[in-house]
Amino acid sequence: MLTKRQNLLETIRGGNPDRFVKQYEAFGIVMGDPISRNNPSAKRGGPNVVDAWGVTRSWPANVPGGFPVHDYEHKVVKDITKWKEVVKAPKLDYPEEDWAPIVEAAAKIDRNEQFVTVFRAPGIFEQVHYLTGIDDALMYFYEEPEAMHELIDYIVEWMLKYAEQIVKYVRPDCLFQHDDWGSHINSFMSPEMFEEFIVPGFKKIYAYYKANGVELIVHHNDAYSANLVPQMIEMGIDIWQGAVSTNNNPELIKKYGPKITIMGDIDNGILDKEGVTPEEIRRETERACRNCGKLYFIPAMTHGLAFSIFPGVYEAVDAEIDRMSKEMF
């Protein structure tokens, strides 16, 4: 029997996996580096907080996740042409001892069994619209492209310096990067605009990680982005995690399979809800496994980490993937 790590590599390389990769099982995700620990985040039902970028974050008790506050008073960037006056990136220079918790967490992971995986969020696009508000950000791409390029370059340089610290202390095998690029029906940007503004920065970042010991780039984007897959491949993404079913993932696998692996097709919007039934979980998991096949596909819920909002749903999907492995392998 292959290890979880070996089985994933067989799957994404078009080899001979002996079962489905079961959601996040091959990734030993480690968090808690000092840069992220010193970046405040809102707690569910708690007060608003201001993070290290100056973004006000809110997480009301009756919603599944936190979000930035973007009324005029709270926006960090109110005029993109004056972003240099208000945007200040968080500090990156922490002593070695402050890295000890995440170094210790990484040391506990058996690298023969799992990839030591660092988690990074937000990404380039999300960091921009956290600062500006998403409506203004999308307009700025058209109206003030020069200023947007400058802001993006500033964020990318900070992310590269962050990456230097991560590879120095953690020596990860895998990067799990978040950056959402669309709704469930379309991407936020055209492929041409995406190519101009977003692709160059991620190419630099992902190339740096791969040149410094990172074997896999896994990118979370739980959205419709079928029109951006060529750019994902250009960036160096190995696994697109979060690919919702509206992308027609079986067709993407047929077209791009050798170049990128799809992880998802089991939509949280369908299953991760109050009152979901075992029959619904079985139906959606079986549909995904049968339609997408054994290679270049990892059946998984589209949520960006190994849990569900409603307790028990993630584990029930795991059990159904086990069942499908027995039927199909």
Q: Which domain holds residue 19?
A: 4-328
Q: Rounded to an integer, what distance in angstroms lies between the CA atom of residue 242 and that of residue 263?
A: 6
140 contact partners, CB below 8 Å, separation of at least 6: 80, 132, 147, 148
Beta-bridge partner residues of 49? 57
pLDDT digits (tens, 9 = 90+) for 176-215: 999 999 999 999 999 999 999 999 999 999 999 999 999 9
pTM reported for the whole predicted model = 0.97
Average pLDDT, the chain: 97
CATH number at residue 99: 3.20.20.210
45-59 mean pLDDT: 96
Place of tokens 């230097």: 164
pLDDT digits (tens, 9 = 90+) for 78-134: 999 999 999 999 999 999 999 999 999 999 999 999 999 999 999 999 999 999 999
212 contact partners, CB below 8 Å, separation of at least 6: 163, 167
Query: How many separate domains does the chain show?
Result: 1
pLDDT digits (tens, 9 = 90+) for 282-298: 999 999 999 999 999 99
